[in-house]
């Protein structure tokens, strides 16, 4: 069994819960319901309340009353856009195309605002960009729209120019990719996901029943682990990756867990 306290932060689990189920509920999610749903994955009530307060301060959750007058929380417009952008990555089933090209982000920040350089670097890295040169970041072309939304939301767009193109050398693209990203570190994250969740999939595939609460718990934990990986791993074409890339196996495990558990878990979540 996964140690929830070690592997999954309460704030992350709350965001994952809204991404999987909360945003599809009719209206705000009552606080009491948040506590029930997080208790199923080992998070106590005080941790839920303190984590919700932090997410509210960050502008991700906003307080609202349910139709029955109960206190609850719903996603802010920015958080909803963040999750909708993320859907294209988190639930992607098709392999990356071989010929989609690249998007370059080139930024320049005045010395008087140099603290924004770190913010820009960390955001671009968090979106899956690799470093081609100082101030020049590269990613598969399909990441452009989500990156634009993120930088606009953070009001960092005035400092960045985007370009689309292809890599023309001089080094082979596979060699360049190994400089732009730390592929060994990304592979370790995929292996960690497999260590935690491949056996969960095997256990479910040996069963015929799918009890809603068990399905909800295992799905939420798998999704909470998985949803960060498509940002660490930009989803490079297979011919640019090392042989036996573990990302292929981890994606297959998540997709099969999603197919088996998501809808059954929805019944426990009240959908």
Cis amide leading into 140 (omega within 30): no
For residue 41, give Cα distances in angstroms to 11, 20, 121, 263: 13, 14, 33, 17
**And the tokens for 8?**
């999954």
Q: Is 5 helix (H, G, I), strand (E, B) or coil?
A: helix
**For residue range 209-245, what is the model confidence (pLDDT) as tens digits?**
999 999 999 999 999 999 999 889 988 988 899 999 9
pLDDT at site 4: 52
Distance CA 90, CA 193 (A): 14
Question: pLDDT per residue over 87-104, tens digit each?
Answer: 988 998 777 777 788 999
Q: What is the DSSP letter of 96?
A: P
Q: Which residues contact 57 (CB under 8 A, 6 or more apart)?
A: none
What pLDDT shows up at residue 224?
A: 96
Reference 246, options 175, 176, 185; nearest CA is: 185
Give the residues of the chain that fall short of pLDDT 50.
Answer: 1-3, 5
Q: What is the pLDDT of residue 1?
A: 39
Residue 28, token pair as written in the block: 């705000």
Query: How crowded is residue 129: how many other Cβ atoms within 10 Å of its Cβ?
Result: 24
Token pair 């042989």: residue: 243
- CA 218 → CA 31, 48, 198, 208, 246, distances in Å? 22, 19, 11, 16, 21
pLDDT recorded at residue 118: 85
Residues, the chain: 271
For residue 198, the model assigns a pLDDT of 96
Distance of CA 31 to the CA centre of its chain: 24
């Amino acid at each position: 069994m996964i140690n929830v306290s070690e592997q999954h932060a309460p704030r992350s689990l709350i965001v994952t819960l809204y991404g999987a189920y909360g945003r599809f509920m009719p209206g705000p999610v009552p606080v009491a319901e948040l506590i029930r749903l997080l208790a199923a994955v080992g998070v106590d009530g005080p941790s839920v309340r303190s984590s919700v307060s932090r997410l509210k301060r960050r502008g991700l959750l906003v307080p609202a009353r349910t139709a029955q007058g109960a206190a609850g929380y719903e996603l802010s417009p920015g958080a909803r856009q963040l999750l909708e952008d993320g859907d294209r990555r988190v639930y992607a089933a098709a392999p990356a195309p071989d010929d989609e090209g690249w998007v370059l982000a080139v930024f320049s920040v005045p010395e008087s605002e140099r603290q924004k350089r770190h913010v820009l670097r960390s955001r671009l890295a968090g979106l899956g960009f690799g470093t081609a040169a100082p101030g020049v970041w590269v990613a598969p072309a399909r990441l452009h729209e989500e990156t634009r939304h993120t930088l606009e939301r953070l009001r960092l767009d005035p400092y960045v120019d985007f370009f689309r193109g292809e890599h023309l050398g001089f080094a082979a693209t596979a060699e360049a990719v190994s400089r732009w990203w730390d592929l060994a570190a990304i592979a370790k994250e995929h292996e960690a996901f497999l260590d935690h969740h491949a056996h969960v999939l095997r256990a479910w595939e040996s069963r015929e029943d799918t009890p809603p609460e068990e399905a909800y718990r295992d799905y939420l934990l798998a999704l909470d682990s998985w949803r960060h990986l498509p940002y660490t791993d930009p989803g490079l074409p297979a011919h640019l990756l090392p042989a036996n890339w573990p990302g292929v196996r981890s994606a297959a495990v998540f997709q099969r867990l999603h197919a088996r558990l998501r809808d059954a878990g929805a019944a426990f979540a009240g959908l």
